[in-house]
Chains A and B, each alone.
Chain A
């Protein structure tokens, strides 16, 4: 986590600055995810605020408007949370067990930040769903989700693939693919009642 430095002897004006610094760091990482390049920013200064914000946003947007019956509805808030965080932890453990040289929190940070394209897709889908339902509506949503899914995979692979030896890279990347596939599925099947 980025350190919150208090300026000495100035308690009144100290608090806004570290918050702005943290927010700027989170925003900078968002940019790095949207335009993935070979850079070490996500790995070097990892933080988990971004993933938390993204996960909460995604889980809130996946809530349906009406109170549906428990059995038949979409994912509950807790289910989304569990899938995202346990999924990320499992992938990180898998990567480390295969012999990757990435630290636990760095990997969580990368996986969490790379949910950003899918959160954007969820936003777009909710807007598109305000229009008439129909096959065109579905095609647009399908296209958006597929593009964002590919973006997430490319972004996370750019950061994670280098940490594995080349003969195991596919083994480490496949669970990431599965993880984002499940999240994309949750987004695509979302229907407000």
Chain B
């Protein structure tokens, strides 16, 4: 009995130490799959009404999770296995999108919004939307640039749709795979929290890409510093969401590994944003290298008003 008492005492001490370091953090227990999140009891800084709503949601969620665990898991070759990843309602998807847009320090996206029920609808269709929006707005930028300056050669550049699709999907599926693999490999170092499943990682990345969609649309405004500002804002929001989600898993690791991992995640995200900007929104297409037109040689498609003197006639 003495050893059991010692263990409980040790756990609370550790929890209070952690809380002292980061007052907004939530404590979670290892057997997190079936029990509700501990932060209803120990959270500080969240509003009381939010806490009450959370309690009610958690009760129904606990019942749902228990029910799910009791059902049979279908094999991965059956259709209903994949159907379980699309078991979301419109309101849930919108809620998850909202959660990714507004990252809060105490709220872990996986525990709080996914509630251990990841879906594939969000990541798949957000990536598809982002790929098409990239191609469409990149094309629109070219159209608008040509309106301002008729010497730019316009072409639909349809191959950019393919490039956009492949790059976005590769990012949203390969990077979570690498991250998941790495976290599982380091599993031995961690005592408290298990790694996220592969689907939860994919979900986190997929929903974090949502904020790039309005950013890309706003990049239509042809003011360069404004474009970089929007890019920085969106990247900041997105990367913050990722870091807050990964921090509880990574913080028990050695400091070096944690820092390297988090900076790699942020760096890859930044590379994606900058790559999109440079490839799809080139400020000047390569044909525009002509010298400024001289006064005696006007472009032939501009109709001349009859009142111009003879010296200005096109050559």
Contacts and interface: CB of A to CB of B under 8 A. Distances in A.
Given A94-B121, A181-B132, A73 B90 contact: no
Given A98-B86, A178-B129, A189-B139, A171 B121 contact: yes
A182 B143 CA distance: 17
Interface stretch (B60-68, B152-160, B186-194): B152-160
Q: In this complex, which of A75, A97, A167, A178 has the most chain B Cβ atoms within 10 angstroms of its Cβ?
A: A97
A174 B154 contact: no
Q: Is the interface of B mostly helix, strand, loop or mixed?
A: helix
Interface string A160-175: 0000000111110011
A74 interface: yes
A143 interface: no
A165 to B, nearest CB: 9
A171 B87 CA distance: 11
Interface string A127-170: 00000000000000000000000000000000000000001111
Nearest to A177: B129
Contacts of A96: 79
Given A71-B159, A75-B158, A189-B156, A171 B90 contact: yes
Contacts of B93: 171
A72 B153 CA distance: 10
B154 A168 contact: no
B156 A182 contact: no
B82 interface: yes
Nearest to B159: A71
Contacts of B155: 68, 72-74
A27 interface: no
- Count class of interface residues, chain B: 20 to 34
Given A189-B156, A190-B156, A178 B128 contact: yes
Given A75-B156, A97-B82, A99-B83, A182 B132 contact: yes
A79 B82 contact: no
B125 interface: yes
Contact of B88 (A70, A73, A171): A171
A191 to B, nearest CB: 7
Interface in A34-87: 68, 70-76, 79
Contacts of B157: 71-72
A171 B162 CA distance: 24
A22 B125 CA distance: 36
Contacts of A75: 156, 158
25 contacts: A71-B159, A72-B155, A72-B156, A72-B159, A74-B155, A74-B156, A75-B158, A94-B125, A97-B82, A97-B83, A99-B87, A167-B89, A170-B90, A171-B89, A171-B93, A175-B128, A178-B125, A178-B128, A178-B129, A181-B132, A182-B132, A185-B136, A189-B143, A190-B156, A191-B154
Given A94-B86, A99-B86, A178-B125, 6 more contacts: A73-B158, A75-B156, A168-B89, A186-B158, A191-B154, A191-B156
Interface of B: 79, 82-83, 85-91, 93, 121, 124-125, 128-129, 132, 136, 139, 143, 154-159, 162
